[in-house]
Amino acid sequence: MLVDAIYRGLLQPVLFRFDAERVHDRAIRFAGSAGALGPSRRLAEALFCREFPALATNVFGLRFPHPLGLAAGFDKSGRAIPFWEALGFSHIEIGSISAERSLGNPKPRLFRIPSDQGIVVNYGLPNDGADAVAQRLANTALRVPLGVNLVNTNRGPGAPPETEEAIIGDYLTSLRRLEPYANYLVLNLSCPNTPDGCAFVSNAGRLRRMLAAVDDLRPMRPVLLKVAPFPDLAAMDAFLDAVAQVRFVSGFAVNLPPGKPPGLTTPAGRLRSMPGAVSGKPAEAAINQTLRDLYTRMDRKRYKLVAAGGIFTAQDAYRKIRLGASLVQLLTAMVFRGPGVVRQICEDLCGMLARDGYRSAAEAVGADHEI
Ligand SMILES: Cc1cc2nc3c(=O)[nH]c(=O)nc-3n(C[C@H](O)[C@H](O)[C@H](O)COP(=O)(O)O)c2cc1C
């Protein structure tokens, strides 16, 4: 597509000369304005939106026009939702959003590593807070499902440690506030870039008490749990045991592993100046392994998997679907491949499913486990 060639040949080299976070902020501002104006939104729709009847799918009671959505973290506070819909995403996940507004971690906290096709992210969950986002969502109409991803407020480095009660209360506050506007909710239990971001689910007692507290609220929407790749299968089984005790969980998503994976080609000296976790291609293998294990070990009648991590092409998306993902998402590919990536992946995915004799994307979910 011409737009892809323009993005990759002209726009991306220019954008990559500037600070990653500044470009991200400007992109959100641009998308917010373009999405709010009828003519620019319709132009984006004409360029990027297509129907893919063979890819339409129902997951946890919601209809998705195809499986590929925008992952959490790109539009944290839901400032440009209509524009993402105009780019052809089948669902849009905003967040992570916390009960209180958060400034996140100190800057710089976002770095591109082009030779590895990844991003090093140490944002630490900056967002406008549940109240401001709820007000924004009250004025946003959408034809595709909206996911709202929730997390505990990051009060920044040096803030005193919080009690378990406070952390659970934070999730409950944003859940109550944002649930009316969401089609599905995600509890992000796994931010790799906050002081207690990963410890939460690794403590079985804390996890059980949090799940029980959410269960008591009886959420009306499907709720997913977003977890980091587990250190071993015993930890995954313990997690699944705890989740089986409550009724509200509809599925799981897998977050970035903390730290830097081995084998990066970016020089070690540069990486040392980039704190954070790595998205994109370097995260793909660990996330796919977690996906494979979760699909094998979870109760498939109760739970569905939503997977992001290094999806740049239809082949990457198809791999995750065959490993067990009912929905897939991307973020890093938007930065490296531009806005045409959604349409391209869907077109190619249609071809791959037809080639392999599947009549729908849903039929291919978990296919690799049947071989
Ligand atoms: C810049 C950036 C910010 C992110 N912020 C969040 C977040 O706030 N909440 C969350 O659940 N995941 C967040 N993620 C993780 C993504 O949702 C996604 O799971 C991950 O990046 C893998 O997909 P990708 O390889 O296509 O980027 C973030 C990722 C990046 C790169």
Return the closest-CA partner of residue 73 out of 24, 114, 23: 24
Q: What is the structure's pLDDT at 158? A: 85
Q: Kindly report whether the global pTM for this prediction surpasses the value 0.95.
A: yes
Contact 48, 339 (CB under 8 A): yes
CATH number of the domain that residue 50 is part of: 3.20.20.70
* Residue 78 CA neighbour count, 13 Å, CB half: 31
Q: What is the structure's pLDDT at 197? A: 56
Q: What is the structure's pLDDT at 2? A: 85
Substitution site in 279, 288, 319 for ligand 1 pocket (most atoms within 8 Å of beta carbon): 279
pLDDT of the chain, 371 residues: tens digit per residue = 788 899 999 999 999 999 999 999 999 999 999 999 999 999 999 999 999 999 999 999 999 999 999 999 999 999 999 999 999 999 999 999 999 999 999 999 999 999 999 999 999 999 999 999 999 999 999 999 999 999 999 998 888 988 999 999 999 999 999 999 999 999 999 866 666 655 677 788 999 999 999 999 999 999 999 999 999 999 999 999 999 999 999 999 999 999 999 999 999 999 999 999 999 999 999 999 999 999 999 999 999 999 999 999 999 999 999 999 999 999 999 999 999 999 999 999 999 999 999 999 999 999 999 76
Q: What is the structure's pLDDT at 196? A: 60
Contact 226, 254 (CB under 8 A): yes
Q: What is the structure's pLDDT at 193? A: 65
- Strand residues in the chain grouped as ranges (E): 57-59, 62-64, 68-70, 92-97, 110-113, 118-121, 146-150, 184-188, 223-227, 249-254, 277-278, 304-308, 325-330
Q: What is the structure's pLDDT at 53? A: 96
Domain that holds residue 280: 2-369
Please classify residue 303 by burial: count the beta carbons closer than 10 Å to its beta carbon, then call 0-12 exposed, 13-18 middle and 19+ buried: buried
Start-to-end CA span in the chain (Å) = 35
Residue 124 Cα distances to 19, 95, 152, 193, 216, angstroms: 17, 12, 11, 5, 29
Q: What is the structure's pLDDT at 47? A: 95
d(CA 103, CA 153): 10
Q: What is the structure's pLDDT at 27? A: 97
CA 356 / ligand 1 centre spacing (Å): 31
Nearest protein Cα to ligand 1, atom 2: 73
Determine how β-strand 277-278 pairs with β-strand 118-121: antiparallel
Contact 214, 175 (CB under 8 A): yes
The number of distinct structural domains making up the chain is 1
Determine how β-strand 223-227 pairs with β-strand 184-188: parallel
Quote the tokens at residue 54: 């063979």
d(CA 138, CA 253): 26
Ligand 1 atom nearest residue 190's Cα: 11
Return the closest-CA partner of residue 63 out of 92, 90, 82, 85: 90
Ligand 1 atom nearest residue 73's Cα: 5
CA 39 / ligand 1 centre spacing (Å): 30
User: Which residues are registered as beta bridge partners of 220?
Assistant: none
The residues lining ligand 1, judged by C-beta closer than 6 Å to any ligand atom, are 71-73, 76, 95-96, 110, 119, 121, 123, 125, 149, 188, 226, 255-256, 279-280, 283, 308-311, 330-333
Contact 184, 221 (CB under 8 A): yes
d(CA 307, CA 287): 8
Q: What is the structure's pLDDT at 362? A: 97
CA 147 / ligand 1 centre spacing (Å): 14
Three-state DSSP state, 88: coil
